[in-house]
Amino acid sequence: DVKVTQSSRYLVKRTGEKVFLECVQDMDHENMFWYRQDPGLGLRLIYFSYDVKMKEKGDIPEGYSVSREKKERFSLILESASTNQTSMYLCATTRKNYGYTFGSGTRLTVV
Amino acid sequence: DAKTTQPPSMDCAEGRAANLPCNHSTISGNEYVYWYRQIHSQGPQYIIHGLKNNETNEMASLIITEDRKSSTLILPHATLRDTAVYYCIARGAGNNRKLIWGLGTSLAVNP
């Protein structure tokens, strides 16, 4: 089974801090995704990557950046955390014509 | 990818079959129907997918109408652990990038 591991289950950060959320997969999946999930809004795509060093903006990329230096690792960066970025962050991977595999999520609180 | 429509909530008695409907009237010929579920505070989990034919696995059965405009996910003997939000998604073959996630159906399995 594919495993998708997110580095932290819970995080509390201060406004203005630079925040790194890490996601690692243990299979050779090309595609990786970062979503955020908020009550009443569902899953919204922030960024995705279909290959090493490749990235594309999702629906809500503002305030975020990503890095994919190795195939197995996809990092989400909050350059200057704000309270409206308090959310559940979910990483997912997939390869062609297969279902998505999600990590357990990181619940980030910005105070 | 086609938009899907699901009822916001459903109830089911423990031990009975749970039938979760999904409308995807604009689905195109090469789009698969995928089902995921999300148990509280975890990442979504893949359940099943299909194109035209009915599908069954150890978790559930998927019934797709002949015109492919709707489908039903069946949990044959629901347990309390099946209480979750269930998402139905239409996904084009080869589209491994952006998916449209709705708010899903919140299924409550009652003792």
Smallest CA–CA separation between B5 and chain A, in Å?
A: 14
How much of chain B is in helix, strand and coil states, percent to nearest 5? Answer: 5, 50, 50
Contacts (Cβ under 8 Å, ≥6 apart) of A48 = A31, A32, A33, A34, A55, A56, A58, B97, B98
Q: What span, in angstroms and rounded, lies between the C-alpha atoms of B96 and A68?
A: 17
Counting as low any pLDDT under 70, the low residues of chain B are 1, 93-98
Could you tell me the two tokens for A92? Answer: 């997912």
Average pLDDT, chain A: 93
Q: What is the pLDDT of residue B95?
A: 58
Q: How confident is the model at residue A99 (pLDDT cuts 50, 70, 90)?
A: confident
- Cβ neighbors of A89 (< 8 A, separation 6 or more) are A6, A21, A34, A35, A36, A37, A76, A105, A106, A107, A108
What is the tens place of the pLDDT at every residue in A1-54? 669 999 899 999 999 999 999 999 998 888 999 999 998 888 999 999 999 999
Distance CA B108, CA B75 (A): 13
- Residue B72's SS3 state is strand
Could B101 and A94 be called an inter-chain contact, meaning their C-beta atoms sit closer than 8 Å? no
Per-residue confidence (pLDDT) for residue B1, from 0 to 100: 65
Contact B101, B88 (CB under 8 A): no
Residues contacting B40, CB < 8 A, separation 6+:
B84
Instruction: Please state the rounded mean pLDDT for residues A58-77.
Output: 96
Q: What is the band of A72 on the pLDDT scale with cuts at 50, 70, 90?
A: very high
Residue A98 — pLDDT band, cuts 50, 70, 90?
confident
Residues of A in contact with B96 (CB under 8 A): 30-31, 50, 94-97
Residue B44 in contact with partner chain A when CB distance is under 8 A: yes
